[in-house]
Structure 1
């Protein structure tokens, strides 16, 4: 098992490295030293997203709480933390809900932080807050995963869009499962990362590369959702890939009434209207 200290040292090197290709090379070399199951955790931690993107749980840990725990003395005789252990503990923290949850979360965090040195604590804090500041975003990480799996970057981006979890994709890349990555298909009830519009400064920029035809429509702001219809009924997911079915029963009712029995994934906006 690779230690969290080694991961923190990688983050230090990435912060000191300016070139994108050099960053990708550092990530590739590091991830190749990990077991596929470790890559799942390391990839999420590397971009400050320790939880799978398609779950609704959150860490709900504030900066002030972390700073309080930084006052703890390091336990010199404690076993060093592994990447897997940090990833699993953060997932455990996100699952804690209800009365007394704050104290329970602090207990787990204190157990982790007391086993870290100063470098580890710095990067652990950045992970929890979600601000890594080492110049590695999803795009850089996806390039590295493409090199590891030896498949075109376009295939990696497509797989990421369909899986919705960079950790799962990273594990497939670590296993050398290029065929599995390229064979990923759209599945009902597995939310897809939404395609987002790009901004342009003026109309002339829009018409620089004319397509065969244009379509123009009014921009109505609502809630971006995916509606998945299948044998297990209707499920609705937000743009963050969280299931929100229970919070909008009126939409579910309308879908059941108006959409013929089928298997489909619909993408669009939910807009509140009145009878007028």
Structure 2
């Protein structure tokens, strides 16, 4: 298959907000691809390079000059082979080899192909090929049942792997996909509740209310003495969290998959600032006389225990397994509370320094990778995880520092983040210095006032509300927005959507 066919489909998908049209365009492309090309094409249109890191940075790509090719000649297989060679370049002479490979590749690419390759190789390819739409296209192209393809994707967490199984293995292999201890599963996510009373009423009477800890999401896998720990974005951080590994190895089981949070606590048991928790990731360990620096895991779900997959079981069964295994590691919770009892639990969570509570139905299965109504989060203030799109150079006492942030919400249709406002409030001197040091690593371009960034950094923003506004592309503006903290545990795909922010608009507005 010619690369130009993939590029044209990418442009067509980016040009429409219609899920039906997106699915049709992707399905037609996959229909035309060979069985070996499908996983590659699926990966690229999902913004993924199968080889991982290629050793080619943004500056190397922008330094490539020369006229583009007039006619398209590049093929999917040919480009994938170049990526293999780039990823495999090691040792003396590797820099020169990469430069030669990139020069040859871009000289053979048309202008639109060059743009596509640059965006793909820098992680900026966001043309709206949503996972759900791609799953539909994989099912159509492979002729396999949609429910089997969807489930395989949930459990593998990989669209290219799902496509390969669907094409090469068929229905039997799709049906055989299950939980695999040591392979991360896309985490189940929660939706914001309108209020605690609404959440308790809508999910009751069989429900549990958990503390919502001010920590980082972790998924812990153990088989024998082998332990793997993953973030909510499925990044393997095992080597960076020896405290959690040690706790997992002491559990009385052989195999287990646990979902939970980790954080550091003060001597009185209160959570330390989120930045303290994140700074512990990657340190080699802590001194015996500094227990407050330990990363402490607390769990709220058990997906597998000693050979038994629990992911399809109701939450009550999964909690029974968790309680039997590690009762002292359970997140504080109350079962089947009244609204008044749930409110007291929320008050206790806030008094202890945590964010709020999670209200969960006890009858629901674990919906991997989905944001379902059976889990609802309740927090006393409006906070959103937004993408930093740029930052303006400061003035006065902030001269020389990157200050005023450009904020974007995630496009639910898979396009680029939608700008919804700016803020410089809540930025400490330490954060100003960090931004000024860190943001250039994510720069896409700049003008005399602003450094614009690739959509990679997520920041948690607290606000009083939103209002209609024509000033920003999202059609609304944030009211009294202020920085709470940066979220290195999240990617742009974890950011809140523009729809979730619009939901704060007053009724009838």
* TM-score, normalisation: structure 1: 0.82
Structure 2 CA distance for partners of 1:9 and 1:68, relative to 1, 3 Å: same
8 Å Cα contact 1:40-1:171 kept in structure 2: yes
Cα-Cα RMSD: 3.0
Mapped partners of 2:22, 2:92: distance in 1: 43
Please identify, of 93-102 and 5-14, the stretch whose mean Cα deviation from structure 2 is larger. Answer: 93-102
Task: Deviation per CA, 1:151-193: give whole Å up to 9, x if none.
Answer: 4544333211211211111122233612211221101111111
Structure 2 CA distance for partners of 1:185 and 1:76, relative to 1, 3 Å: same
Flag structure 2 segments of 5+ consecutive residues without an equivalent. Answer: 269-509
**How far off its partner does 1:275 sit?**
4.5
Task: Deviation per CA, 1:177-234: give whole Å up to 9, x if none.
Answer: 1221122110111111111222234446535743442222221132322211114522
**How far off its partner does 1:135 sit?**
2.6
2:213 counterpart residue number: 220
Mapped partners of 2:122, 2:198: distance in 1: 37
- 1:72 matched to 2:66? The reply is yes
2:255 counterpart residue number: 263
Higher relative helix content: 1
Structure 2 counterpart SS, 1:240: coil
8 Å Cα contact 2:144-2:166 kept in structure 1: no
Mapped partners of 1:150, 1:207: distance in 2: 42
8 Å Cα contact 2:216-2:263 kept in structure 1: yes
Q: Identify which of 165, 173, 177 aligns with 1:172.
A: 165
Task: Deviation per CA, 1:22-45: give whole Å up to 9, x if none.
Answer: 221121121122222211110010
Flag structure 1 segments of 5+ consecutive residues without an equivalent. Answer: none
8 Å Cα contact 1:44-1:167 kept in structure 2: yes
Bigger radius of gyration, 1 or 2?
2
Structure 2 CA distance for partners of 1:211 and 1:42, relative to 1, 3 Å: farther
Structure 1 counterpart SS, 2:66: coil
- 1:87 matched to 2:87? The reply is no
Structure 2 CA distance for partners of 1:98 and 1:197, relative to 1, 3 Å: farther
Structure 1 counterpart SS, 2:212: coil
Structure 2 CA distance for partners of 1:138 and 1:215, relative to 1, 3 Å: same
2:31 counterpart residue number: 32
2:43 counterpart residue number: 44
8 Å Cα contact 1:51-1:91 kept in structure 2: no
2:111 counterpart residue number: 118
Higher relative strand content: 2
Please identify, of 199-208 and 131-140, the stretch whose mean Cα deviation from structure 2 is larger. Answer: 199-208
Summarize the alignment of residues 107-256 of structure 1 with structure 2, pairs less than 5 Å apart.
107-175=100-168, 177-203=170-196, 206=199, 209-231=202-224, 233-256=226-249
* TM-score, normalisation: structure 2: 0.47
Mapped partners of 2:220, 2:142: distance in 1: 32
Structure 2 counterpart SS, 1:32: helix
Mapped partners of 1:130, 1:192: distance in 2: 22
Give the structure, 1 or 2, with the largest relative contact order (CA under 8 Å, sep 6 or more).
Answer: 1
State the number of aligned residues: 268
8 Å Cα contact 1:189-1:228 kept in structure 2: yes
Task: Deviation per CA, 1:70-117: give whole Å up to 9, x if none.
Answer: x2234679x932213333444554566789876654443323212101
Structure 2 counterpart SS, 1:215: strand
8 Å Cα contact 1:27-1:141 kept in structure 2: yes
